[in-house]
Chain A
Amino acid sequence: MKIAVLIKRVPDTASVFAINPDQKSVATDKLKFVMSPYDEHAVEEAIKLKEANGADVVVVSLGPDSAKEVMRTALAMGADEGLLVTGAGTDSLTSKGVAEALAAAVKSIGAELVFAGKQAVDDDASQVAERVAELLEMAHASVVTKFELNGGTAVVNREIEGGSYTLELPLPAVITIEKGINTPRYPTLPNIMKAKKKPIAEKSLADLGLSAEALAPGVVLESLSLPRQNRRNHIIDGDTPARVNELIRLLKEEEKAL
């Protein structure tokens, strides 16, 4: 069985973010980049499945050449090969275009099972994997916290507000992963060395039969800004009972929130 795992290289959200003077881009010089955390769980889940049942795990990413860094991490965790969609037109895509390109990539691999993160923590777009599933007409489930394979059927748990669903879906399927499903392994040094020799293929949009024109974004970025901090920052003084009572008074009388 072939398993594709969609992984994205994103800034570590613990970084300090600054907006460039054009107000349309984030200054990247101070950013540290990592694999999007949910994607790490997705890679781990695929490797667990490979260890249990045998499978070929292909990590797929769309991005610049530097995306190979996180692909190498995934290969060191145990994935077998990589496919990077890169080159002209890939940097200006919206989630819709990214999904079309990734869908074509997944199709070219012939994957029966696709794992992805529930969201990528840069744009938090929360849609690429579901779009890939719909474009490929695959069954899909999102925000999955438990995954089992029973022959050609996936049995998953997905969280909803105030509860959870247990779903059965036939392969081929796309599953987006929530943390809590597993603990991603750290690559060992020998595996990091081995990963350097594993193949990463590259494809352009044209190689996938797509054109940048057809994927032209329908979203205009008007501005980026840092969130305004207009909090009161009122530290309440006094002894404990006085402070508690003052807090209640503030919430009740000033804020009318109690």
Chain B
Amino acid sequence: MSVLVLLEQRGELKPCALEAATIAGQIAKASGMALNACYIGQSLSDQAESLKGFGIEKVYAYENASLSHYSNDGYVPIVRDLVNELGAKVIIGSSSALGKEFCASVAARLGAELVQDAIGLGWDGGLKATKPLYAGKVISETKITTFPAMASVRPNVISIERNGDGAPELVKRDMPQVSLRTVLKEAAQATAGTIELTEAKVVVSGGRGIGGPENWPVIEDLAKALGAAAGASRAVVDAGWVHHSHQVGQTGKVVSPDIYVACGISGAIQHQAGMRTSKIIVAINKDPEANIFKICDYGIVGDLFEVCPLLAAEVRKVRAS
């Protein structure tokens, strides 16, 4: 009986993979089960070092160039067979865009219950999960009591923690024969240098208060100064000022950065759904009554066109010193 953590990679292991390993390690410890990991991708070899300290006994590595990108037909049978072989009782993955699809598919093949997008996990004779419902307006505590039990973890909510430097044993596996129904025609990368919203440690978002697309650079510049990803409210996306991949909220992306800076955003509940689990929320808005101030840690009542450029300049000064 063991815990299995699914390590997501995009060329390199993703931070969310190490977050999942951290929490899977805690569950293994609490339940007295062993922890193993599954890597599927081009090559783990030169990254095995980063898997030290999580208490992983063995990492099963399925390495093949044809596995470098996720595919249901390629990845799902591997995990199903590995879970059955190991008799894994708990399987932990990541709630990234691909991770959710992966976990849902694995759960279906195993006939397992699954909680996606968990913001906390624990063990109490079953797999306990904390998860937001109704766009974050309600928090549920559930326990999966049948096995295997599965959960995927929202990126950025668990801090990566290592205990010691014990390295897992690397178990190389041959790639099973599968026929892929789905063909990947093209994998497009976003413009180089842009930081992905859902993975960013800092997010600066602009709302209708920016007034028009010509002012979007005010947001981008502050983001750049802070090393942040740039987000937007739906108002800005619907107006066509920026691409909808920037949208944060119930019908956009869910982010949990260390710092979320909302500029000219009123703080509608659907926007909150996408940023409520941020560690620190900063609001810049000229309306002291704006809802965003009710959910912020630090607020500046003022014109974003004055505050943001100054903040960018001061941050650059601090960073330079």
Contact = CB atoms under 8 A, between A and B. Distances in A.
A170 B182 CA distance: 7
Contacts of B288: 235
B178 to A, nearest CB: 13
Interface in B183-198: 183-190, 194, 196-198
A92 interface: no
B197 to A, nearest CB: 8
Contacts, number: 243
A224 B300 contact: no
A211 interface: no
B138 A226 contact: yes
B10 A161 contact: yes
A134 B108 contact: yes
A26 B134 contact: yes
B101 A122 contact: no
A147 to B, nearest CB: 14
Contacts of A233: 293-294, 296-297, 299
Interface in A129-167: 130-131, 133-135, 139-143, 155, 158-167
B104 A131 contact: yes
A166 B115 contact: no
Contact of A229 (B144, B259, B295): B295
B103 interface: yes
Given A96-B113, A233-B299, A248-B318, A169 B142 contact: no
Interface stretch (B45-53, B164-172, B278-286): B278-286
B173 interface: no
Interface in A89-118: 94-96, 99
Nearest to A249: B318
A95 B103 CA distance: 13
B265 to A, nearest CB: 15
B134 A13 contact: yes
Interface of A: 11, 13-14, 17, 19, 26, 37-38, 94-96, 99, 121-127, 130-131, 133-135, 139-143, 155, 158-170, 179-180, 217-227, 229, 231-236, 240-241, 243-245, 247-248, 250-252, 255, 257-258
30 contacts: A14-B269, A38-B251, A96-B107, A96-B108, A99-B108, A121-B134, A124-B116, A124-B117, A124-B135, A140-B101, A140-B105, A142-B97, A143-B97, A143-B101, A158-B97, A161-B198, A161-B199, A163-B188, A166-B186, A167-B183, A169-B183, A220-B145, A222-B143, A223-B140, A227-B138, A233-B293, A241-B310, A247-B300, A251-B280, A251-B298
